[in-house]
Amino acid sequence: MTEEDETVQVVHGRVKWFDPSKGFGFIVSDQTDSDILLHANVLRNYGQGSVADGAGIEVRIQRTQRGVQAVEVKRIDPPEGLALPLGEDAAQMLGADILALDLEPARVKWFDKGKGFGFANVFGRPEDIFIHAEVLRVSGFADLSAGEAVALRVIEGRRGRMAVQVVSWEAASRGKS
């Protein structure tokens, strides 16, 4: 049995940082003695192209000669202590209220991290859905790509429909929202 064949274990940690352009990042966990490499392909297999710094994460890891690596993402939780920045439109909404909303299948029209917002379209509906960068962050994402399939929880705001939660398409289809 080689070192690469060691038993895979599940650990909980926090995303230290993740850079989609570099294609990797690191997780810190009290259950390991070193940082855990998170490769973009492992994250994509979960259904996300990015993950927010500070997000809680549960992964299966493998210890190799090159160090500890994530081999499967099991769950991602939004970073702690963040509030939705949607003003009066969502000020009264609690987590349970948000989770009571239906998930709507959508495709990202565009998202500009520098501007701090973007838009998506829900299948079968003509209007754009506004997505604020902080909603993305509290949902556990760092960025979205044009054309990316997601599921949204949406409210009617004063200026139109706006997302209050973004869920990866794969997680929504597995019922892990």
The pTM score is 0.61
Kindly list the structural domains of the chain, giving each domain's residue range(s) and its CATH number in brackets, ordered by start: 3-77 (2.40.50.140), 87-173 (2.40.50.140)
Backbone angles phi, psi at 67, to 5 degrees: 120, -165
Question: For residue range 53-66, what is the model confidence (pLDDT) as tens digits?
Answer: 888 899 999 998 88
Is 70:61 a contact under the CB 8 Å cutoff? yes
Residue 6 in this model has a pLDDT that exceeds 60: no
pLDDT for res 118: 95
Residue 7 in this model has a pLDDT that exceeds 70: no
Tokens, residue 106:
């959508």
When the pLDDT of each residue in the chain is averaged and rounded to a whole number, the result is 83
Percentage of the chain beyond pLDDT 90 is: 42
Residue 158 in this model has a pLDDT that exceeds 50: yes
Per-residue confidence at 10, pLDDT binned at 50, 70, 90? very high
Q: Which residues of 143-156 are buried (b: 16+ CB within 10 A; e: fewer)?
A: bbeeebbbbbbbbe
Round to whole Å and give the CA distance between 86 and 90: 6
Q: 3-class SS at 97? A: helix
Q: Please give the C-alpha separations between residue 156 and each of 90, 101, 119, 145, 161, in angstroms, as whole numbers.
A: 9, 12, 14, 24, 5
Per-residue confidence at 40, pLDDT binned at 50, 70, 90? very high
Q: Rounded to 5 degrees, what angle do the CA atoms 10, 137, 24 make?
A: 50
Round to whole Å and give the CA distance between 120 and 159: 15
Residue 93 in this model has a pLDDT that exceeds 90: no
Is 78:52 a contact under the CB 8 Å cutoff? yes
DSSP state of 34: S
| Strand runs labelled E in the chain | 9-19, 24-28, 36-39, 56-64, 67-77, 104-112, 117-122, 128-132, 149-157, 160-168
Backbone angles phi, psi at 22, to 5 degrees: -85, -25
Which residues on adjacent β-strands are paired with residue 11? Answer: 59
